[in-house]
Structure 1
Amino acid sequence: MKPLLDLRHLQLIQAIIETGRITDAAEKLGVTPSALSHRLREAERRLDVPLFTRMHKRLRKTPAAEHMAVVAERILTDLSRAEQDVRRMNAGIQHVVRLSVEAYSNYRWLPSFIRYLKARTDGIDLQIMAGARSNPLAGVQNRHIDIAVVSGNVTQAGLSAIPLFEDPLLYIMSPTHRLADRDFVEGYDIVGEPFITYTKVPEPDREFARLFRPTDSYPQWAATVELPEAIVELVASDLGTSVLSSWALQTALDEGRIVGARVTEEGVTVPWCAVMRTEDMDDDDPIHSVARLLADWCREPDAGFHLR
């Protein structure tokens, strides 16, 4: 069955939603306003639903256009990625492996790992998919990415994990904070402290279970910020404290903008792993090869994923 709409119609819907005007959308797409108006009428005729309504000289999307925009984004993104893959293949790249790191956007480790990867493989290009970091496991399952570097234990069906490293959690604060000279903090130390977190959903073996609950001691929630790098900046400005993985904090710690203390005297470490689809676990699969080499590299003395 022939699709009702083609790529031109999907691009049209995206452009009108972005600009709100036929003339601006036409300029964005490099066509005349009359041609774009004709294309819009054709799309609405084929679908037999209105895509936009006019309001104060601007076009407002209908639910149908909003739904089609989501589909268009996915299709056009996949097409763009396919074009990039083809260009890479023509340049000697045979496999593109897409990787994302949970929560953090600190990639100071990346150049070292790429050198390690290229010294041991041919024809594999690594593509960082930073947009998938909020839910990388879903990204692996829906094939938006191939490898997710995540913390904790992964038990989802259809996914397999390769252990990478164990990393300590740090309670971070500004250098002028009253606890800045501590080697470690206990729950009772932080009662009432302004606390910034990227999630208020308790996770096993994290600060909720290991620092707060054992002593029934809780900080005062100051903010929920989903970007750890923004949390670091707020902590450095003495607007609160937080608990984050130490490997992602090294730059700020080295610069002296924040200080860190162990979470409890014994310390709390969190396992990190490389997660991929189980079907990609064959030894000769490039996705498995990259994940296995990432695990090997993490054991190298100069690896940048965690503190030693």
Structure 2
Amino acid sequence: MKPYLDLRHLQMIQAVIATGRITDAADRLGVTPSALSHRLREAERRLDVPLFTRMHKRLRQTPAAEYLAVVAERVLADLTRAEDDVRRMNAGIQHVVRLSVEFYSNYRWLPAFLSFLKSRSSAIDLQIMAGGSTQPLNALMNRHIDIAVVSGEQRQTGLTLIPLFDDPLLFIMPPGHRLETRDYIEGADIVDEPFITYTKVPRPDREFARLFRPTETYPKWMSTVELPEAIVELVASNLGTSVLTSWALQSALAEGRIRGVPLTRQGITIRWSAALRNEDMEQDNPIRIVAELMAEWCSLPGRGLHVA
């Protein structure tokens, strides 16, 4: 039986792909080019497949190397997190809970919540994982994170949702816009308004299904921008309008860079929840403890993730 590749081989593959040259990769790894060449030949001999081909004095990865690079990124990231966990444990931390927030990167709430968490459980540390924000439920099921803060209606087998807070959707516009003095916005008010959206995939609890479609009135679609902060900057620069949850807008609204008006007379609100795996719902599980403490903190007057 041939021996398996080790971490040195995975690091080598990453370095060669990143630099394209043995000499540059060797310099990055702190080894000699001859030692790295030997390591590359050893890996190819163990796998019995080529990892790189030479093209115009540079090394180009084969599909095998490309696949191993993906695996290497995950393995090395897991190892780094494990090392960080051990260091935290030595500092009195017994549990590390990894959390990601869907779509939004508003973390002004984080210092206050960490203080609240430490006051209730000093042995638990919270680690923010930004990489899980685009597909947090997938990251949760793949065990890359432990808690996903998600919005709206979520239905996925194997997950439990702990409600955190309800947040209104706002129609946002630049200062001086013709609609900024309205008490609320109806679909007919924004016909042909230049509109920037973060997704054109209709969701049953959002503006498309609850504002545009019922009245068959639609804005003028301008562009799709998947980063709320970028949408805010475009709106503030008078390059369009949009609809976002108020949680993402507190700083820009307070600074007067944009204006926000609720949708419809009744309002359209979005439920934010902490999603965690069913297997982590045991009473003393630190993941459940953090999720429930988040819910408790969000219920405090003048506190919570929805407060900037």
Same fold (TM over 0.5): yes
Q: Distance in 2 between matches of 1:94 and 1:302?
A: 31
Q: Is the 8 A contact 2:297 2:304 kept in 1?
A: no
Query: Which stretches in structure 2 are left out of the alignment for 5+ residues?
Result: none
Paired residue for 2:70? 70
Sequence identity (%): 73
The 5-angstrom pairing of residues 213-292 of structure 1 reads: 213-292=213-292
CA deviations on 1:53-105 (whole Å, 9 max, x unpaired) are 11111111111111010010111010110000000000110000001111000
Paired residue for 1:201? 201
Q: Distance in 2 between matches of 1:274 and 1:88?
A: 24
Compute the displacement of 1:192 (Å).
1.2
CA RMSD in angstroms comes to: 1.3
Paired AA for residue 280 in structure 2: D
Compute the displacement of 1:183 (Å).
2.1
Q: Distance in 2 between matches of 1:132 and 1:3?
A: 34
**TM-score of the superposition, structure 1-length normalised?**
0.97
Runs of 4+ in 1 over 6 A off after TM superposition: none
Compute the displacement of 1:251 (Å).
0.4
Q: Is the 8 A contact 2:2 2:46 kept in 1?
A: no
Paired AA for residue 11 in structure 1: Q
**Number of equivalences:** 308
Paired AA for residue 238 in structure 1: N
**TM-score of the superposition, structure 2-length normalised?**
0.97
Q: Secondary structure at the match of 2:202?
A: coil
Paired residue for 1:12? 12
Q: Secondary structure at the match of 1:98?
A: strand
Compute the displacement of 1:3 (Å).
4.9
Paired AA for residue 267 in structure 1: G
Compute the displacement of 1:52 (Å).
1.0
Q: Is the 8 A contact 1:49 1:64 kept in 2?
A: yes
Compute the displacement of 1:307 (Å).
5.6
CA deviations on 1:256-294 (whole Å, 9 max, x unpaired) are 011101111211001111000001011100000000000
Paired residue for 1:113? 113
The 1:295/1:2 distance shift into structure 2, 3 A limit, reads farther
Paired AA for residue 232 in structure 2: V
Q: Is the 8 A contact 1:167 1:307 kept in 2?
A: no
Paired AA for residue 223 in structure 2: A
Paired AA for residue 87 in structure 1: R
Is residue 189 of structure 2 the alignment partner of residue 189 of structure 1?
yes
The 5-angstrom pairing of residues 75-86 of structure 1 reads: 75-86=75-86
CA deviations on 1:174-223 (whole Å, 9 max, x unpaired) are 11222122221111111111111111110012100111011101111111
Q: Is the 8 A contact 2:95 2:286 kept in 1?
A: yes
Q: Secondary structure at the match of 2:253?
A: helix
Query: Which stretches in structure 1 are left out of the alignment for 5+ residues?
Result: none
